[in-house]
Chains A and B, each alone.
Chain A
Amino acid sequence: MKFYVPPQIPRLALAFGLFITLFLVLRHFLVPDTFGKYGHYRAASLIDNTLPEIHYAGQQACFVCHQDIEDKKAQDVHSDIHCETCHGPGEKHVVNSKVEKILKPTGREFCGSCHALNAAKLKSAIFQIDLYKHNIGKNCIECHNPHQPWEMKK
């Protein structure tokens, strides 16, 4: 007795074979060249990641020109807060300080973004004041020096 192979089987095997070959061929061309050089990723992505524009300079960069402010800040409660937390991204200003202005926040809400009364924040973690009670009508920086909060201006 001859072994019977239904005609569907070889045809389907052919179809699947073609599909898998196509997949492998496509894969060969689609996998990026540097893939797997260091690990399971495209090595060239490391270079890509250095390309985006840098926005933050880090506060060490500020000290070069504003050491006076750092000296004040270091003495008081805001010592742990980096310059750019309040002044925003400063890379452009660092590179070209004459032309590029940096943010200089002033409003009460600005200080409030950290200090406003918030039931969900622990009192011990951050000092809080009621924005609608604490010396209303005046700006915080009219009394507190932002870099040295306890050095009151008046």
Chain B
Amino acid sequence: MEPHYQHLYDILAHSQGYIFPNEIDLQWGILIVVYPFITGLVAGAFILASLERVFKVKILKPTYQIALLTALSFLLVATMPLISHLSQPQRAYEIMITPHSSSAMAIFGFVYLWYLMVVLLLEIWFDYRHSMVVWANEKSGIMRWVYKILTLGVNDISPRTVKWDRKLGYIITVVGIPSAFILHGYVGFIFGSIKANPWWSTPLMPIIFLFSAMVSGISLVLLVYMIISYFRKQIIDLNVLDSIGKYLFFVLILDFTLEGLDQIQRIYEAGESFEILKLLVSSKLYLTLFVSQGLIGTIIPLVTLAFLQFYKHQIKVRKTMYFIIGILVLIGVYSMRWNVVIGGQLFSKSFAGFTSFKVGLIGLDGTLMAIFWLILPIGILAFLLWLLPPWKMVKEED
């Protein structure tokens, strides 16, 4: 057989039914799964921190800086999966220098920049400025200069100025909450506004993405808090876990309800795409949707969290349970991203066929790359915790 037809026959062997030629290969692979997962972690972690600050939840204080630094480390990496997925990554900056107002992706570049520069960096700066000035005076050599530069030369630590740090930081937090909502709502918006795809196109999409973002961000902060305490040989404060757990419980219920509503609506509406979507979820997405996202990522954590609201004995058991819940929820949210991104490309727009997706291991958009982008933020977080240790900060009276 001619090589050309050989290739066609090979790929067609992986598809079923009738599909259009441009649907054989998936355009958005595993990196586009990782991308909303990471931005979700950012938005979620930040929202948890803001809750503490705006509603003055004293118990959550030990997690405040951790949550902010976690958000920053993941935000710094957030765009990387997108960029490495491009076939011309060196052109990525062009979207920022010649943005078009009708391009949702271009506008997002600015949402991202706003969130990074005006919200996260500023909030962290105001929070740490006092401590950084003190550290700069304590340290010598190069670290002294690093802290000096980080303070931008504002060395005034009179009570009046420090009070302004807190006032301005508070304003930023208040501005930051809607910003975090927009940051992640946008990711859902990109999918939700794709008219031609019935698996994506729903106005609920931004909201669903937002709530699952909060779920994942809260779990991540829970895990990071436990791991940091472990490495610092500090006793994990159960009250902290309990109150994070309570937030997680409520947000998870909301998230579950919203996603449920979306599906029920779809089932009841039973539009022309329903048959193919039914086939999709019962075959190609069965494991990732019902088992991984539904059972492991939602039902089991929900039941366990509900149980933990009453069960107050056996401290060790409870801590272990929280840890496991954190991991399960992260797996669940990752699966949710997978189901949306990959699931939406598996069925044909003819509604009469399926293609299949095989994840590559190597290459710029392979699995190893995805794992790299998921591990890098953890390295950045470790560095930030070393540079700006929350436990060495100057104590301030309220």
Cβ-defined contact, A105 with B2, below 8 A: yes
Chain A positions within 8 Å of B195 at CB level: none
Interface residues of B in 1-54 (CB under 8 A from A): 1-2, 4-5, 8-9, 17-18
Q: Which residue of B lies closest to A6 (CB)?
A: B164
Cβ-defined contact, B98 with A35, below 8 A: yes
- Cβ contact of A7, chosen from B2, B18, B98, B161, cutoff 8 A: B161
Cβ-defined contact, A27 with B97, below 8 A: yes
Distance (whole angstroms) from the CB of A37 to the closest CB of chain B: 13
Q: Which residue of B lies closest to A9 (CB)?
A: B168
Cβ-defined contact, B98 with A19, below 8 A: no
Cβ-defined contact, B1 with A109, below 8 A: yes
Contact with A along B225-259 (1 / 0, CB 8 A): 00000000000000000000000000000000000
Listed stretches B149-157, B175-183, B316-324; interface member:
B149-157
Chain A positions within 8 Å of B315 at CB level: none
Distance (whole angstroms) from the CB of A128 to the closest CB of chain B: 13
Cβ-defined contact, A6 with B168, below 8 A: yes
Cβ-defined contact, B168 with A8, below 8 A: yes
Q: How large is the interface on B (under 10, 10 to 19, 20 to 34, 35 or more residues)?
A: 20 to 34
- Cβ contact of B93, chosen from A11, A30, A40, A105, cutoff 8 A: A30
Chain B positions within 8 Å of A16 at CB level: 117
The docked-state distance in angstroms from the alpha carbon of A22 to that of B55 is 38
Cβ-defined contact, A15 with B164, below 8 A: no
Interface residues of B in 168-204 (CB under 8 A from A): 168
Chain A positions within 8 Å of B165 at CB level: 8
The docked-state distance in angstroms from the alpha carbon of A16 to that of B121 is 12
B376 within 8 A of A: no
Chain A interfacial positions (CB closer than 8 Å to B):
4, 6-9, 11-12, 15-16, 19, 26-27, 30-31, 35-36, 40, 88, 103, 105, 107, 109-110, 113, 118-121
Q: Using A6-B164, A8-B129, A8-B164 as known contacts, list a sample of 15 further A-B pairs with CB atoms less than 8 Å apart, ordered by residue number in A.
A: A6-B168, A7-B154, A7-B156, A8-B161, A8-B165, A12-B122, A15-B152, A30-B94, A40-B100, A109-B9, A113-B5, A113-B8, A118-B18, A120-B18, A120-B352
- Kindly list the 3 A-B residue pairs having the minimum CB-CB distance in the complex, ordered from nearest: A120-B18, A6-B164, A120-B17
- Show 29 residue pairs from A and B whose CB-CB distance is below 8 angstroms, ordered by the A residue: A6-B161, A6-B164, A6-B168, A8-B154, A8-B164, A8-B165, A8-B168, A11-B152, A11-B153, A11-B154, A12-B122, A15-B152, A19-B117, A30-B94, A30-B97, A31-B97, A31-B98, A36-B98, A105-B2, A105-B5, A107-B1, A107-B2, A109-B5, A110-B1, A120-B17, A120-B18, A120-B352, A120-B353, A121-B18
Chain B interfacial positions (CB closer than 8 Å to A):
1-2, 4-5, 8-9, 17-18, 93-94, 97-98, 100, 117, 122, 126, 129, 152-154, 156, 160-161, 164-165, 168, 352-353
